[in-house]
Structures are given as C-alpha cells and as structure tokens.
Structure 1
Amino acid sequence: MTARPTVLLCDDSRALRMLAAGQLEEAGFQVVGEAGNGLEAVGQYRALKPDLVLLDLVMPECDGRQALAKILEVDPDARVVILSSLGAQSDIEECLRMGARSYLQKPIDPEAMERVLHQVLA
C-alpha cells in the first residue's frame, strides 16, 4: 500500500481546520500538522516536511504571502495551495507568481479540493 500524501493545514480559523481535516482524511490524505498563523506554518513546514501545504492568506503574526515566501526559502519545491475568500483575486495572482502551485476558494468544496491537490501532486 502506498503512503497517503501528507498535508499541513494552515488557517487561523480552528473550525475551518477541523472541517478541512475531515475532508482531507476522507479524500485519502493524512493531515500531519496544523497552524493558526503564518509563523507556525513556517515552523511546522520545517519540522514536518509535508507533501502539500494548504495556506490561508489572511492570518495573524505573518500573513499567507509572507509565510509562502518563507516556506519557499526553506524549500523552493514546496507544494503550497492558497486558501482564500472571494474578492482576493489580486492576492491569489501574486501568490501564484511567487510560487504557489494553485488555490482554493472558501468555503472549500471537498471535490474541488481533492481534484486540485491531486493535480498539484502529479
């Protein structure tokens, strides 16, 4: 049996992390860590080296753009998928230029999430 892809889930909303973690587990992914702010996200990435990162744009202490830049400094090949609310298109485009692999709109559609994450892993 092949190992399930590992995911680091980064969002300041504990409720969203809980919901997304359940959706990820059902889709065959393993949530290996969670972070509630950008600084935690970078630290967790360094410690866990997950296959994928789901990264919210709007977080305290260090926002998603800053965390993305720091994660890519640690690992230029990091597979980061941005989570964003509607109306953040320019922020999403900036993150994609910086090196994010894709993005998902909130609220997260479980089928879209599974499809995007598998595309990013391919």
Structure 2
Amino acid sequence: MVEDMLDARKVVTDRLRRAGHDVVGEASGPADAVAHYRVLRPDVCAIDVAMEDLAGVAAMRRIMEVDPDARVIACTRAGEDVNVIAAIRSGARDVVATMLRLEHAMEEIDHELHGTGPPSRRRALPA
C-alpha cells in the first residue's frame, strides 16, 4: 500500500489484514514504493494517486517500468479526481475511491488476487 497519509494507510492495511490478505509492505512515497516493489514483488499494489505533486502517479509509472505486468490499483480519496486519467494511462488495472467505498477497493483487490483467467483489461470503476 502506497499512501502518504499514515492514518489512511493504516485504515486500508488494517482492513486488508482483516480480510485475510498479507500486506507485505507499506510506502509513503514514490521512492519507497519502487524500492519495496523491487524487493517484495507483491501480487497487487494499491497506490494513492491523489498524493501531492502527482507522487502516486509517478510511483505507478516507475513500478510499471520495473514490471510492465504489475497489478496496480489506483486509489483516490474522492469519486472524481484529476489524477484518474493519468493513473489509467500509467497502467492502473482499476481506479477506486478508497476512502468513500473501502469495500469496493477490497473487492477489486480480491478480484486481482483471485480472479481466474488472464488479467482483466484496464478500466476505471465508478465510486
């Protein structure tokens, strides 16, 4: 989970753990995210794309450079975010309004982890 706000990161990671997922790493910005991704190679990476100065989108782009097949879910704090288009163009599998519909974010992470067949096409999902 890549999120610059510690409280928000804690909410999402705690919820993932309660849902039975192993959270293998947390990062507060792009440099940490890429360094962690290189070492940990998580099955799914959730990134807050609403971080200041497009830091979340930058992290996503750098992770996709490291691993073009990375499964990245872009998370926003609002249903509509100027970074959504940039996230999709950067390779996000899904875009979800994490804080508004945390359950929806969990469903998308589950889908990426347990879905059958080839990875789904990139798409934006409504909040």
Q: Return the TM-score normalized by structure 2.
A: 0.80
Count of matched residue positions in the alignment of Structure 1 and Structure 2: 113
Q: Of 45, 55, 80, which aligns to 1:63?
A: 55
Matches within 5 A, 1:15-54: 15-54=7-46
Distance 1:32 1:106, change over 3 A: same
For the residues of structure 2 that align with 1:19 and 1:113, how far apart are their CA atoms?
Answer: 12
Pair 1:102 & 2:94 matched = yes
Pick the structure with more strand per residue: 1
Q: Return the TM-score normalized by structure 1.
A: 0.82
Unaligned runs of 5+ in 2: 116-127
Q: Percent identity?
A: 32
For the residues of structure 2 that align with 1:57 and 1:111, how far apart are their CA atoms?
Answer: 18
Give the Å deviation of 1:39: 1.1
Q: Secondary structure in 2 aligned to 1:81?
A: strand
Q: Secondary structure in 2 aligned to 1:23?
A: helix
Q: Secondary structure in 2 aligned to 1:82?
A: strand
